[in-house]
């Protein structure tokens, strides 16, 4: 009994030595800003992929195929070693904030390819007659997409978009490759210096990500049912 008490006392002391909640807050911020960036870029890419202009369709498809098949770690490392170290791209005067924004950029660029495909799957749920009706009343491509196609496509793409956001939340740990002080880097440091409670360290971060991810899944399920397009 005394041994168990000592073990849990040692575990609780971790929160005095390491800022666990602060590390998770960094990951939440990474996920939030990257979600916004990837949704904006992914929507533009989806419009390019369904555009009547062949060159835009080709460019959108090329982007998706390149970035969807490139490891995220390589993209983050390129941002730090290529854009920052070689091309001197500075997104903030503060050293840590600069790496944070480079990580957000890398996460956005990578997940935009998956957002694009999620939205395009939603476009496939829109009846062909909707687009034909929009053209019949004189709407060009962009107004038809903005007013008719994309609102329905987003409703049909809620489930795959939710899966993409869950993947994005978990993939924020890759930001450690870009020198961002987040959960993955902190967990490695904790394991290195406090291997006496290694199991509880792992369980702490595992449970932490479960707490972050489950609400996204529940919200996605609710919205997909609530906003489903009746056929």
Cβ neighbours, 10 Å, residue 13: 12
Arch. (CATH architecture) of 21-226? Orthogonal Bundle (1.10)
Spatial contact of 152 and 121, defined as CB atoms under 8 Å apart = no
- Each domain of the chain, given as residue ranges in start order, spans 21-226
Question: pLDDT by residue (tens digit) across 60-97?
Answer: 999 999 999 999 999 998 888 888 888 888 887 877 88
Question: pLDDT by residue (tens digit) across 208-222?
Answer: 999 999 999 898 888
Percentage helix, strand, coil for the chain under 3-state DSSP, each rounded to 5:
85, 0, 15
Mean pLDDT score across all residues of the chain: 86
pLDDT above 60 (res 13): yes
Which residues touch 132 (CB under 8 Å, ≥6 apart)? none
Instruction: State residue 82's pLDDT score.
Output: 85
Question: Among residues 26, 202, 3, which one has the least CA distance to residue 194?
Answer: 202
**Cα separation, 186 vs 20, whole angstroms:** 8
Spatial contact of 76 and 175, defined as CB atoms under 8 Å apart = yes
Question: pLDDT by residue (tens digit) across 122-166?
Answer: 888 887 777 778 788 877 888 888 888 888 888 888 889 999 999
Instruction: State residue 230's pLDDT score.
Output: 56
Which residues touch 169 (CB under 8 Å, ≥6 apart)? 27, 31, 209, 212, 213, 216
Question: Percent of the chain, pLDDT > 70?
Answer: 96
Residue 192 CA: distances (Å) to CA of 180, 185, 186, 197: 18, 11, 10, 11
């Amino acid at each position: 009994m005394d041994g168990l008490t000592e073990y849990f006392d040692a575990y609780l002391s971790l929160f005095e030595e390491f800022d666990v909640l602060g590390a998770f807050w960094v990951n939440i911020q990474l996920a939030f800003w990257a979600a916004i960036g990837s949704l904006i870029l992914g929507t533009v890419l989806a419009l390019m992929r369904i555009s009547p202009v062949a060159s835009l369709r080709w460019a959108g498809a090329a982007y998706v195929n390149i970035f969807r098949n490139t490891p995220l770690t390589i993209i983050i490392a390129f941002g730090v070693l290529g854009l920052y170290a070689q091309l001197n791209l500075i997104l903030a005067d503060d050293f840590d904030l600069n790496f944070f924004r480079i990580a957000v950029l890398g996460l956005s660029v990578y997940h935009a390819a998956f957002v694009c495909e999620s939205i395009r799957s939603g476009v496939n749920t829109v009846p062909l007659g909707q687009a034909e009706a929009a053209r019949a009343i004189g709407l060009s491509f962009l107004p038809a997409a903005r007013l008719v196609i994309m609102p329905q496509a987003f409703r049909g793409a809620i489930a795959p978009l939710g899966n993409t956001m869950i993947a994005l939340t978990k993939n924020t740990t890759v930001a450690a490759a870009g020198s961002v002080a987040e959960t993955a880097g902190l967990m490695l440091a904790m394991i290195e210096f406090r291997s006496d409670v290694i199991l509880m360290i792992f369980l702490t971060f595992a449970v932490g990500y479960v707490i972050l991810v489950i609400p996204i899944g529940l919200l996605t399920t609710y919205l997909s049912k609530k906003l489903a397009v009746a056929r």
